[in-house]
Structure 1
Amino acid sequence: MAKPIGSTPIFSLFVMFSLLYSGSSQTIHNEQKTWCIANPLASNSALAANIEYICSQLDCGSINPKGPCFEPNSRMHHASFAMNLYYQANGRHLFDCNFINSGLVSLIDPSYGNCSFHSGTSDELLQLNINFACNLVDCNATHSGGVCYYPATLINHASYAMNLYYQITGRKKSNCNFRETSLIVSSDPSYGNCSYPCFTVQ
Structure 2
Amino acid sequence: MDKINVFLLLISCILGVAYGHEMTNSTSIGQKQLVKWCIAQPSAPQDKLQGFIDYACGVVDCSAIQPGGSCYYPTIVVSHADYALNMLYRVKGSCNLYIAKITNSASIGRKQVVKWCIAQPSAPQEKLQGLIDYACGVVDCSAIQPGGSCYYPNMILSHADYALNQLYRYKSSCNLYIATITSVNPSYGSCMYS
TM-score under structure 1 length normalisation: 0.43
Structure number with greater Rg is: 2
The answer to which structure has the higher helix fraction is 2
TM-score by length of 2: 0.45
